[in-house]
Amino acid sequence: MGKQTWKERIPAFASILGLMVLIAAYYIVGAIRDANVAYGLKAIVNQSVVVALVATGAVFIYTLGSFDISLGAATGVSALLGAMAYNATGNLLVMFLVCVGVAVVLGFINSSLASIFNLPIFVTTVAMMSVLSAFMLILIGWNGAGDTIKVKARDVRPLDNIPFKVAILAAYIALCWFVFTLLPTGREAKFTGGNPVCARLSGINEKKLGIIASLISAVGIGLGAFVTIIYAPTLTKDTASSIGMDVIIAIVFGGMPVSGGPRSRILSAVVGAFSMGFMTQIMSMLNLGSGYGQMIKAAIFLLVVFIALGSQRGKLLTR
Amino acid sequence: MKNLKRILCLALCLMLTLACLPAMAAGSVKIGVLVADATGAEALAFRAYYEKYIAKAYDVEFIYSEELKTADGEKDAIDNFIVNNCKAVISFSSVDRPAQIEQCETAGIYYAVATGTLTDEEYEDFKNYEHYVGAIGPSLNTEFQVGYNMAAYYIDQGMTKFGMFGGAVPYRTDMHIYRAAGMLCAMVDKGGEGAAYQGVNKPDDIIGMIYGTGTIETGKIGNLELLAYVGGYDFDDAWFGKLAQMAGTEGIEAILTVGSGVDVLGSFVAGSSVKLATVDSFTPAMGEAMNSGIIDYVAGKFATSIGPIFIATLNAVNGQPIRNEEGCALALDQGYWVATNAEQFAQYYAVDSSEENPAYSKDILDAYAPAGVSYEDFAAFVAQYSFEEITALKK
């Protein structure tokens, strides 16, 4: 355990360095293209906050070495039911509680099924994704107002502002950081993710951890659903459909291994989500067209992850 | 290994630098384009007209969104346009048009709807917005009429047994519901005395019934018969099985589709005597389907139909918006071209896809570019959308 050289330290900060490089690139490209950089920053926050919320919660599941593919569908169902609840009551607090409550119930079902049938959470989430996607169509049909479920934009407009969204994100990150860093749950999750056999033999209850992780993640999903409604109050069967993949990319981009374990960090999700936001804005300013832009985004993604995971290659007992 | 890493990093830097070069050589007026479909043949035809003809003919740069499926995606895309200092947005995406209009009005950039229209209620809400240019495209009445005309075409030929593909009817997509309702109404009107669909015979009742159930019921409509129906875009084995079963239904003479007819049913009707009709667009793939006899009737959007909304938008950007006497924005109906044989299709397509002299060429559009163009003159121009009328304008 000698002193680390700078070469060994770089990978640990690669994701943050990557974000800083992207911020610098954003300003440079913005200046070249005469873009409205200040407005762009607001757009980046708007575009990143939902992914950051869902991804921050999902860190708990990923830390266990597990994987939730139903995040997007769960966010969509929570948002649809939240919107329907608002339309029935006209109360934003009810909408908020329904969004979070539905997400928590879905998370509990996911993790309970995994415990009862002794299956990896990933397996139950695959099934849940299909069920929830179908349920979204059913909800839209029940609503009986075309192919959307709408909340009046003027009703949610007072909440559609950056300070409110950042406050929600900051509060949730603080909660997750507290649980992940200061409570035994976080350490146990890292241990289980790093070496499940040793963790089991040490008396850690893997199933209980799975349920706790799903519930914490569900709160993020519920908050993400709420912010989705206040940002764009017209919901369709495709609402939040891309979130599942965005969360994986954000977490990996943020420097956390998808296999979980001791190198998991709460802030990875936020760093990754905002890195994606800056990258999307840069590609948009360059007007490359989606194909070319996607290829460059993929190349940058590979480069950052390559550097971030550089220090772990060839080491034993790290996942 | 170290050299390989260096080469990879260098390649990445080179890619980014090369990517910046076309961005430097941009046009002076930037217009954002919201698209719900980025890869379909129709979407590519629209894009080719704007990028290969309009962008060269006028000093404009088009910035395209990603493929949009959600309201938050639309909002993100408009934000990106605002960041890029776009002066206007032309929208092909319709998840939440009111939100798009509000967002552009707040940001002070012009907004126009291409190949679509607002509902009457929406138009009332936004017609006086300073930055709302207007909408040019098929209204829901036109969608209804397109379906009606398609069914009537075959009924008038003496056909009595039909199949129907409802596309996005289960998802309550307005234009597909109206097209399907038009087909059913034609059957009711031409099905003889007492003909009715599920006990109703008025257009509004039929439309309401489809919205309610999200499906079309098979059965007799007077002396006509709807033998089979498939809806949705499941793209799984069971769904393809239903389509194959419909194409092979005994006695079926024509299958009427609200859209995507060739893509979903082409392979099943190929080589059979079943006639396939669809609402689609004038694309090379559709031309091939016409030539090979797979498709018999196409009511199609033509790529250059988006020329008038472009010139109206450019006028607004240049400080000469076209408004009616009350100062209200454009709300103009524009229909489809209909081809019922391969020669007719080829003739239409050749004019529509020309990169040198397309249907709505600069010469034609420039007549409506100067200041002071009246709403009535512009409306009369847009109303002349048939192939023959546009060809006459070119002369």
Q: The tokens of B294 are what?
A: 């797979």
**B83:A36 CB<8 A:** yes
What torsion do the CA atoms of A181, A242, B106, A145 make, to the nearest 10 degrees? -120
Q: Is A296 on the interface with B (CB under 8 A)?
A: yes
The C-alpha of B310 sits at a distance from chain A's nearest C-alpha, in angstroms, of 20
For B163-216, how does the pLDDT look when each residue is reduced to its tens digit (9 = 90+)? 999 999 988 888 999 999 999 999 999 999 899 999 999 999 999 999 989 899
**B211:A284 CB<8 A:** no
Q: Is A31 on the interface with B (CB under 8 A)?
A: no
CA pair distance A40, A152, nearest whole angstrom:
26
B105 within domain boundaries: yes
**A35:B85 CB<8 A:** yes
Q: Which candidate from B71, B85, B171 shows the least CB-CB separation from A237? A: B171
Residue B329 carries which DSSP code? P
Query: What residue of A is the nearest CA neighbor of B38?
Result: A290
Compute how many other C-beta atoms are within 10 angstroms of the C-beta atom of residue A80.
30
B26, pLDDT greater than 60: no
Residue B126 sits in which domain range? 27-139+304-335+361-394
- Mark whether B147 and B296 lie in a shared domain: yes
- Mark whether B150 and B285 lie in a shared domain: yes
Domain count, chain B: 2
Reading chain A (319 residues) residue by residue, the pLDDT tens digits are 456 666 666 666 778 888 898 999 999 999 988 889 999 999 999 989 999 999 999 999 989 888 888 899 999 999 999 999 999 999 999 999 999 999 999 999 988 888 778 787 778 888 888 899 889 988 887 776 667 888 998 899 999 999 999 999 999 999 999 999 899 988 888 898 888 889 888 888 888 888 999 999 999 999 999 999 999 999 988 898 888 888 988 888 888 877 788 888 888 899 999 998 998 888 888 877 656 767 777 777 777 677 666 655 555 545 4
Q: What is the pLDDT of residue A145?
A: 64
CB within 8 Å of A313: residues ≥ 6 apart: none
Q: What is the pLDDT of residue A193?
A: 85
Query: In a 3-state reduction of DSSP, which class is residue B22?
Result: helix
Q: What is the pLDDT of residue B40?
A: 82
For B131-169, how does the pLDDT look when each residue is reduced to its tens digit (9 = 90+)? 999 999 998 999 999 999 999 999 999 999 999 999 999
CA pair distance B80, A280, nearest whole angstrom:
9
Q: What is the pLDDT of residue B337?
A: 93
Least confidently predicted of A63-77, B15-29, B35-49, B116-130? B15-29
CA pair distance A138, A147, nearest whole angstrom:
11
- Mark whether B314 and B297 lie in a shared domain: no
Look at B384 and A145; give whichever has higher pLDDT.
Answer: B384
- Mark whether B287 and B310 lie in a shared domain: no
- Mark whether B222 and B253 lie in a shared domain: yes
The C-alpha of B96 sits at a distance from chain A's nearest C-alpha, in angstroms, of 6
- High-pLDDT (> 90) share of chain B, %: 67
Q: Is A133 on the interface with B (CB under 8 A)?
A: no
Q: The tokens of B380 are what?
A: 């009369």
Handedness of CA B343, B344, B347, B353 (dihedral sign): negative
**B171:A287 CB<8 A:** no
B341 within domain boundaries: no
B225 within domain boundaries: yes
**A34:B85 CB<8 A:** yes
Q: What confidence category does residue B89 fall into, taking pLDDT thresholds of 50, 70 and 90?
A: very high
Torsions phi, psi for B329 (to 5 deg): -75, 170
**B96:A232 CB<8 A:** yes
The C-alpha of A78 sits at a distance from chain B's nearest C-alpha, in angstroms, of 16
Q: In chain A, what are the domains? A: 6-312 (1.10.3470)
Q: The tokens of A278 are what?
A: 């800056």
Q: Are strands B224-230 and B297-301 parallel, antiparallel or unpaired?
A: unpaired
Q: Is A29 on the interface with B (CB under 8 A)?
A: yes
Q: What is the ipTM of this complex?
A: 0.82
B14 within domain boundaries: no
CA pair distance B30, B86, nearest whole angstrom:
5
Task: Report chain B's mean pLDDT, rounded to a whole number.
Answer: 89
- Mark whether B287 and B377 lie in a shared domain: no
Q: What is the CATH number of the domain that holds B274?
A: 3.40.50.2300
B370, pLDDT greater than 90: no
- Mark whether B98 and B243 lie in a shared domain: no
- Mark whether B292 and B312 lie in a shared domain: no
- Mark whether B169 and B294 lie in a shared domain: yes
Look at B317 and A319; give whichever has higher pLDDT.
Answer: B317
